[in-house]
Structure 1
């Protein structure tokens, strides 16, 4: 499929993905699409009013699937003159995949939200952390589009935002009161440690690809693709697995609408009102 995609949508830069790179992206797309289908099945098995974590995962996987379809088709990139190059080509350009940053702009804050909703953090702390996630992504995009050395200034701003995210994930959030107690706390710590480790590797990949032009766009795709798979489907399935034995009502997120309670699952107040109505009619 890589040959066909590159023939129909030819590369627009000096340094571009190869046929093998496109083939890898199609394989990654299949992984995301299959994960999406599995998540849809798992979501439908959940009772109404208790699907928030699964539906956040659905949004993440849907966005990633569309993104990898676009990149596998060699669409969603713009040519930018590479700052560092050793090929002797004047004004050599490199493909910068803005569609990937659109994906991260949507999915990274949602992954953080998925994780932080399981903690006792207040809303303001959660929103600030999500904002820092957006800052990290936007700084990566802006830095990759800058042709001069000033791109590393934006890289530094992004790293500062990442340090804040690490602080919240690994220190602040674990010291809050978890609604579901020790079971949820241990699952959160495992998931937060896993995600924090994955986040270390993204700036390294950026510095070697969009930043320093050290590796080829094909190697970039392989590196980022592996990271996205482990930080996306793998993380989401592991996180939801850790929540399997936790009572959803402990989060206080269950919908109060009667239609979201599931068949025969009326709330106590609704049952009481029905009983009072029955007495009045009698």
Structure 2
């Protein structure tokens, strides 16, 4: 019985014990790590369910699944890393909003996760790509939107590593890039979808209106967490985790259902069976009709004579 009790005591989340946060004053606690692992489980569940559903579809019907599986798998890896208390660095807080008893400097050092931004770099473009798929926009328009989305992520990443007031310059650049993408999707792409009219236009407006609303909360959270040091890292993980699960998990998965409801033909995508378009393979020649076989026959006849 005592061995069982010892086993239970050793169980649970031991990430902070195995990977302690040294050299920082403000860092996640066990509760924060538990939430990060829970968010990882949500992303993994969505990713595996979508993958199983994808393999039950014909290869020409899998495109919507690709756009949802990519962000969910990317964020699952990012949240597993953060829940394990890995993929972070320290940066000195710009404002003295929080204090701890072990703080040695006037402005303490805060734990910031660059793993989150790597996940964002891989996952954030996919809702934009899904918008372009609904509008069937040009490749150059899609590439521009994806590029500006990556500028948003990179600018925010550099901002968390800057101690001085210059971090707000990167914050401004990243926020402007996000605004440009939102305007591009809700104007150019929306006009293209409007030409198709009907129910698709209404669904697009509502669906991407919700996505832009979620995206608009990120600058507020960044300013209160990594930027202004108002919220502690646990609260930061809760805010970002909820937003990421909704924007980069639930909404891409809903796009799969929307694409399945309208069909890829309605969205403007017609995939041909490449194998059926290829010419039929040449019929195999019989061994007796090959030149080598004919030569052997002649030699065989001469030897008989």
TM-score w.r.t. structure 2 length? Answer: 0.81
Inter-partner Cα distance in structure 2 for 1:149 and 1:241: 44
**Which of 231, 238, 260 does residue 222 from structure 1 map onto?**
238
Inter-partner Cα distance in structure 1 for 2:219 and 2:131: 21
Alpha-carbon contact 2:26-2:108 (below 8 Å) kept: yes
Report deviation, 1:243.
Answer: 1.9
| Structure 2 spans left out of the alignment, 5+ residues | 1-10, 284-305
Aligned length: 265
* Inter-CA distance 78–200: structure 2 relative to 1 (3 Å threshold): same
Counterpart in 2 of 1:77?
88
**Which of 53, 57, 63 does residue 42 from structure 1 map onto?**
53
Report deviation, 1:252.
Answer: 4.8
Q: Secondary structure at the match of 1:79?
A: strand
**Which of 216, 229, 238 does residue 200 from structure 1 map onto?**
216
**Which of 140, 162, 183 does residue 156 from structure 2 map onto?**
140
Report deviation, 1:136.
Answer: 0.5
Query: Which runs of at least 4 in structure 1 moved beyond 2 Å after TM superposition?
Result: 86-89, 177-187, 249-259
Deviations 1:216-266 (A, max 9, x none): 00000010000000102210122222222223134454544535xxxxxx5
Inter-partner Cα distance in structure 1 for 2:207 and 2:193: 17
Q: Secondary structure at the match of 1:80?
A: strand
Inter-partner Cα distance in structure 1 for 2:264 and 2:207: 18
Alpha-carbon contact 1:120-1:178 (below 8 Å) kept: no
Which stretch of structure 1 is more off in the superposition, 169-178 or 99-108? 169-178
Alpha-carbon contact 2:136-2:267 (below 8 Å) kept: no
2:77 is aligned with 1:66: yes
Inter-partner Cα distance in structure 1 for 2:110 and 2:85: 13
Counterpart in 2 of 1:114?
130
Inter-partner Cα distance in structure 1 for 2:115 and 2:201: 35
Alpha-carbon contact 1:81-1:147 (below 8 Å) kept: yes
Inter-partner Cα distance in structure 2 for 1:14 and 1:253: 53
Report deviation, 1:184.
Answer: 2.7
Inter-partner Cα distance in structure 1 for 2:51 and 2:206: 24
2:202 is aligned with 1:186: yes
Report deviation, 1:100.
Answer: 0.4
Inter-partner Cα distance in structure 1 for 2:94 and 2:256: 42
Which stretch of structure 1 is more off in the superposition, 172-181 or 214-223? 172-181
Alpha-carbon contact 1:179-1:250 (below 8 Å) kept: no
**RMSD between aligned residues:** 2.2
Report deviation, 1:181.
Answer: 4.7
* 1:48-59 alignment, distance < 5 Å: 48-59=59-70
Alpha-carbon contact 1:82-1:213 (below 8 Å) kept: yes
Larger Cα Rg: Structure 1 or Structure 2?
2
* 1:253-264 alignment, distance < 5 Å: 253-259=269-275
